[in-house]
């Protein structure tokens, strides 16, 4: 398949400029050794199809576009919407990072590690990551802030990604520590639709 070519217009050109500005605000994605929930160790609501396409990466046959304000994850294949999933995103103070990234991890039946205590939860129904982890961002700046129950301080590297959740009622909310939660049956579908290197665009 050849690269995706978008029609040129002043509107799309301005959106591309906006997208480039968002990239500058995001950390550069790098490989992460192990999954952890948002603070784990180890477009606007009226955006239409053309605007979403303008945010996509030229030449990408499949790409993910996450709308934080709409709490929706879109999967595109050769420029056409393939799937759409409802999601939960990062809470205020622990926002999901905005910008362009790539899938850097795919882990089936991940082990979750508490970011502060190091307590580990094995795969199973109680695992906060559900049955699949798809990492797309990592930085080593650490985190500190109130998580809704306690003041949490995390030193070292943290990762953000897509994962399942046993807290089904949280989908559609801004409640995570930066990660993107999906219904577990949805994250299983998503896991099969992406591979390492799949582009991920996150817009406000």
Q: Both tokens of residue 179?
A: 């990660």
Question: Could you give the 3-state DSSP secondary structure of residue 129?
Answer: coil
pLDDT value of position 117? 74
Give all domains of the chain, ordered by start, each with its CATH number.
Answer: 29-203 (2.40.440.10)
Query: Cα(66)–Cα(132) distance, rounded to whole angstroms?
Result: 18
Task: Return the ∠ at Cα 106 (arms to 100 and 107), rounded to 5°.
Answer: 140
Q: What percent of the chain has pLDDT over 90?
A: 50
Listed as ranges, residues in the chain with pLDDT below 70 are 1-60, 115-116, 140-157
pLDDT tens by residue, 94-122:
889 999 999 999 999 999 887 667 789 99
Q: Both tokens of residue 65?
A: 């576009």
- Cα 132 vs. chain centroid, distance in angstroms? 13
pLDDT tens by residue, 21-46:
343 333 333 333 334 443 333 333 34
Task: Residue 58: count other Cβ atoms within 10 Å of its Cβ.
Answer: 9
């Amino acid at each position: 398949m050849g690269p995706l070519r978008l029609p040129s217009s002043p509107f799309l050109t301005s959106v591309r400029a906006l997208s480039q500005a968002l990239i500058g605000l995001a950390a550069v994605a790098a490989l992460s050794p192990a999954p952890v929930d948002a603070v784990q160790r180890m477009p606007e609501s009226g955006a239409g199809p053309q605007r979403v396409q303008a945010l996509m990466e030229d030449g990408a046959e499949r790409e993910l576009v996450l709308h934080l304000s709409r709490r929706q994850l879109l999967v595109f294949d050769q420029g056409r919407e393939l799937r759409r999933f409802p999601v939960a995103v990062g809470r205020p103070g622990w926002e999901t990072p905005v910008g362009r990234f790539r899938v850097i991890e795919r882990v089936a039946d991940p082990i979750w590690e508490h970011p502060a205590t190091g307590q580990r939860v094995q795969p199973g129904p109680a695992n906060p990551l559900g049955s699949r982890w798809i990492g797309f961002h990592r930085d080593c700046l650490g985190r500190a802030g109130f998580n809704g129950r306690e003041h949490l301080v995390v030193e070292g590297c943290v990762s953000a990604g897509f994962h399942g959740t046993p807290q089904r009622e949280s989908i559609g909310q801004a409640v995570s520590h930066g990660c993107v939660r999906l219904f577990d049956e949805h994250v299983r579908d998503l896991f099969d639709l992406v591979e390492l290197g799949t582009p991920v665009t996150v817009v406000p």
